[in-house]
Amino acid sequence: MEKGWWVVRISCDPAWTDELAGALAGMFQGGVEIRDNELVLYLSPQTHGAGWRENLERFLGHWAETLGLPVRPDVQVDFCPDQDWNARWKEAFKPLRVGRRFVVAPTWETYHPDPGDRVLWIDPGRAFGTGHHETTRLCLRWLEDVCDRGDAQGPLSLLDVGTGSGILAMGAALLGCRPVVAVDNDPEAVEVARENLAANPTADVALMLGSVEDVEGDFDLVVANIQADPLIAMAPRLAAKVRKGGRLALSGILGEQAQRVLDAYEALGLGGRDRRDDGEWCLLELSRRG
């Protein structure tokens, strides 16, 4: 069999790219790249048998039907021969600077940080947050700004809900937040986060498999980069984790969804402080008055 890899391009509404990427990463042992309106899946013929395309088409049809989408995502497949398909795929992932101090670097790269850099070593082989998506970048920049303002009473505590790769929790820890707690209800996401934490030993993060209700106490900072509808459904539980004077950052939200999300949290007594946009995505910052 000729060496190479299948490059599978899947068109997808931006509102569903993160969810679909996570599902595909769990289904196929290959890298998933999130672009503007599509996902790019890299598959090795040596790993995946002849029936992978039929399985993918069946999965996408079921996925679209479950969500009530009018059409299933369109799929385009190309075969790219190469002597080392895995090395070629890795070439696409280079260290990425986010904000003023964060650098997101794949674990196989050699990166020499500049003074003041906070390097987040991430394995992008499974799509749970790599810093390339707009919402992850929005959250990392927000963390920089909030942690720069600091707290005269000492370090800020932080809760990362739906941690995925753990990138936001690790970023907060590298900026001096403590304690930092990261929680996710997806066992595979928690395993990915655990691997990334092992690659970032200076990031002190308590990682939990479970839901936000399983986390004890409240926090100075709470961040949730999920999606609009789950954020609305979780509003009472997330709001309860923000202590008086604390701040809540919500992302994974398209611009046209922002007002619905904001209304759900303002109804619980949290006040909107700021909105940040990156392309069609946004981050909402709210606070609980002291």
Q: Are residues 67 and 134 in the same domain?
A: no
225: Cα within 13 Å, side-chain hemisphere: 27
Q: Is residue 68 domain-shared with residue 209, that is, in the same domain? A: no
Asked whether 183 and 210 are in contact (CB, 8 A), the reply is yes
Domain that holds residue 81: 4-90
User: pLDDT confidence of 67, banded at 50, 70, 90?
Assistant: confident
Q: Is 129 assigned to a binding site?
A: no
What average pLDDT does the segment 256-265 reach? 95
CATH number, residue 13: 3.30.70
Same domain as 146, residue 12: no
Is 55 annotated as ligand-binding? no
Residue 263 marked in a binding site: no
pLDDT above 80 for 214: yes
Domain boundary among 90, 109, 136: 90
> Pick from 63, 90, 117: which residue ends a domain?
90
Q: What is the mean pLDDT of residues 229-235?
A: 94
Tell me which residue has tokens 């981050």. Answer: 283
User: Which pLDDT belongs to residue 251?
Assistant: 94
Q: Is residue 110 part of a domain?
A: no
Q: Which range has the worst mean pLDDT, 13-17, 75-79, 226-230?
A: 13-17
Residue 136 labeled ligand binder = yes
- Please report, rounded to a whole number, the percentage of residues in the chain having pLDDT higher than 70: 85
Say yes or no: 132 and 68 in one domain.
no
Residue 111 lies in a domain: no
Mean pLDDT for 264-268 is 96
Do 212 and 161 contact (CB within 8 A), yes or no? yes
How many domains does the chain contain in total? 2
CATH number of the domain that residue 208 is part of: 3.40.50.150
- Do residues 21 and 76 share a domain? yes
- Mean of pLDDT values over 166-195: 93
**Which of 65, 90, 115 represents a domain boundary (last residue)?**
90
- Model pLDDT, residue 227: 85
Q: What is the DSSP string of 189-226?
A: HHHHHHHHHHH-TT---EEEES-GGGS-S-EEEEEEES
Residue 171 covered by a domain: yes
Of the listed ranges 22-26, 102-106, 160-164, 271-275, the one predicted with least confidence:
22-26
**Same domain for 138 and 86:** no
Residue 31 sits in the same domain as residue 86: yes
Residue 186 or 2, more confident = 186
Q: Is residue 55 part of a domain?
A: yes
Question: Is 210 found in the same domain as 80?
Answer: no
